[in-house]
A and B are shown apart, each in its own frame.
Chain A
Amino acid sequence: MSAKVVKLCNMDQLADGTSRGFDPLGEGRDTLFIVRRGKVVKAYINSCPHWHGAPMAWRKDAYLTSDKKRIACYGHEAEFDIENGECLSGPCLGQSLTALPIHVSLNNTLYLLLKDLQHKNTLL
Chain B
Amino acid sequence: MNIIGPDTLVFGVENVNDCEQYLKDYGLEPVGSGVFEALDGTSVIVLAKDDASLPPALESGSMLRKTVYGVADQATLDAIKEELSTDREVSTLPDGSLEACDDQGFCLGFQITIRKQLNLPAETVNSPGAPPQRPLNVIGADPKSNPLPRTLSHVVYFVPDVAKAEAFYVERLGFFCTDRFTGLGPFLRPAGCQDHHTLFMIQTPAFLQGCEHFTFHLAGPTELLQAGTQFSEKGYETFWGPGRHIFGSNWFWYFNSPFGCHVEYDADMDIHDDKWQEREAPVNADTTQIFHFLARDKWFPSGPPPAKK
* A residues with CB within 8 A of B: 26-29, 54-62, 65-66, 73-77, 90-91
Contacts and interface: CB of A to CB of B under 8 A. Distances in A.
B97 interface: no
Contacts of A74: 237, 256-258, 260
Contacts of A61: 235
Interface string B224-266: 0000000000111111000000000000000111101110000
B260 A54 contact: no
Given A28-B298, A57-B256, A75-B262, A66 B238 contact: no
Contacts of A73: 256
B30 to A, nearest CB: 18
A28 B237 contact: no
B165 to A, nearest CB: 18
Nearest to A93: B207
Interface residues of B, number: 27
A66 B15 contact: yes
A56 B257 CA distance: 10
Interface in B1-39: 14-15, 18, 22
Interface in B51-92: 61
Contact of A54 (B18, B205, B239, B257): B239
Contacts of A66: 14-15, 18, 258
A59 B237 contact: yes
A55 B256 contact: yes
Given A55-B237, A55-B238, A29 B18 contact: no
21 contacts: A28-B296, A28-B298, A28-B299, A29-B296, A55-B239, A56-B237, A57-B256, A58-B18, A58-B255, A59-B22, A59-B234, A60-B235, A60-B236, A65-B14, A66-B15, A74-B260, A76-B212, A76-B261, A77-B61, A77-B261, A91-B205
Contact of A58 (B212, B256, B298): B256
Contacts of B237: 55-60, 74
Contacts of B258: 58, 62, 66, 74
A58 B26 CA distance: 13
Q: Which 6 A-B pairs have the closest CB atoms?
A: A28-B296, A28-B298, A60-B235, A74-B256, A66-B15, A77-B260
Nearest to A77: B260
